[in-house]
Amino acid sequence: MANARVWLITGASRGLGRAFTEAALAGGDRVVAAARNVGPLEELTEKYPDHLVPLSLDVADRQGVFDGVERAAAAFGRLDVVVNNAGGMLYGMVEEATEEQIRASMDVNFFGAVWVAQAVLPHLRAQGGGRLLQVTSMGSGGGMATVGFYGAGKAALDSVSEALAMEVEGFGVKVTNVQMGGYNTGLFTAGTTTTEPLARYQPLRTEMEAMWGDAVGPEPETAAPVIMELAALPDPPRRLIVGSQSFDHVMEMGRARTDLYRSWEHLSRIAPG
């Protein structure tokens, strides 16, 4: 297809990344599908031999990311849409997490996405534009017990991506924070690292587990049409919540936060700053 776009999608072997990859290929586009383990992509590679290039990539390895992006750009001669989707869950209380666990979580959820953005920007700028979709979370606007470090990584990515959007818009590069709802991606199973539980937090842990419940979120492919339409918009938003229920939850959290600020406005206004 003459107007086929070239995508680079990280975390492409499962979950949302796999769904986005399949949607782009079905639409006639070409995809460089990056993942630490590209084995699950073999079936897609056989189905789309001229449109899919699997790329073994660990986003936590900065030099590996820069080298990988060079291979990705060379695969089809350009990059049009970059989806920073790779991520992982660190599940547990803040006090329970080890330094190694915390740093590994941030390496994937924040630093990895930053390395990809830094590596692709010279290519997007040189060709006069492109799309950078930063997959964050509908919960990145506030912390929640047991998933605080996941939220922290996504919140940091939200913030730096807002700055990045301002910095690169003049080069024709459009950046959107894609704030995903709770989809059935395997994030809480295959993508999860769990802390060693401390007994003192068991009552809260039980409460949180009851709140999460056993309900399974929508399948990832139901989110793919949103991403496809977003990538095609001539003037995309800098933030987009993906998911009807998630949209309602975020709006309610925003109202609750505004109410909280208002209830303590008298204390805030004591200071002149």
Catalytic site positions: 150
The CA angle 82-87-89, to the nearest 5 degrees, is 165
**Whole-number Å distance between alpha carbons of 175 and 164:** 7
Closest Cα to residue 197, out of 186, 187, 180, 209? 209
Tokens 């600020």 belong to which residue? 261
Closest Cα to residue 114, out of 10, 208, 36? 10
**Whole-number Å distance between alpha carbons of 55 and 116:** 13
Residues in the chain: 273
**Whole-number Å distance between alpha carbons of 107 and 260:** 33
Question: In one letter, which amino acid is 39?
Answer: G
Q: Is the dihedral of CA 272, 255, 158, 195 positive or negative?
A: positive
Closest Cα to residue 11, out of 50, 49, 38, 46? 38
What values do phi and psi take at 242, rounded to 5? Answer: -110, 110
